Chains A and B, each alone.
Chain A
């Protein structure tokens, strides 16, 4: 069965600082990988996704993520954080050919200090 680990429950960064949110997955083959962001009381917005090909994926709002097969990781990065980036971030893994049913990590709450 697939699983996702987001080791950091809370992260606080200063506005303008760089950001890296960690995500590790467990899956028997190359999975589909996603990062979603959720603002309070809202649904999830897709930031970026990886299916195959180039391991560095660009997303919306200046986010990027890198798939590292050897480390089973898909960490999310942003070079300069804005106050509006404060939200909950979820990493998810989907099973190709398995209906792409998603398994979510427990989420990382990002706080941005002005």
Chain B
């Protein structure tokens, strides 16, 4: 199956600093990637849709200046949490859309997630 990696898997940072999380599709090209946030024992909340070569689309209530997304290539999207604060601590998961022409191959494959802790 398709493989998506995330780096780092865990990060601890001080309040006020910025943190960058990378999401890579390893064996397919992804023009679209998604970024999710997951709180303990809860479901995934879609934050934004990352489109290669264009601006990301953010879900309602998500601060675009706080969560910067860059999708510079067909295999890499990055999420930067700027001026992080303790309330930004969470589990961040990315997915990459394997479109493959649509139909039965239009599937999202997920990365292993990044645990962010802001002190």
**Are A46 and B1 in touch, CB under 8 angstroms?**
yes
Known pairs A49-B107, A51-B103, A101-B34; A42 contacts B43 (CB<8 A): no
Q: How far is the CA of A107 from the CA of B91 in the complex (A)?
A: 16
* A99 x B32 contact (CB < 8 A): yes
B106 partner, pick from A43, A45, A51, beta carbons under 8 A: A51
Name the contact of A101 in the complex, choosing from B43, B49, B110 (C-beta under 8 A).
B49
Residues in B with CB closer than 8 Å to A51 are 103-104, 106
Please tell me if B42 contacts chain A, counting CB pairs below 8 Å. yes
Q: Which B residues are closer than 8 A to A by beta carbons?
A: 1, 4, 6, 32, 34, 42-44, 46, 49, 91, 93, 95, 97, 103-104, 106-113, 115
Residues of A with Cβ closer than 8 Å to B? 32, 34, 36, 41-46, 49, 51-52, 90, 94, 96, 99-102, 104-107
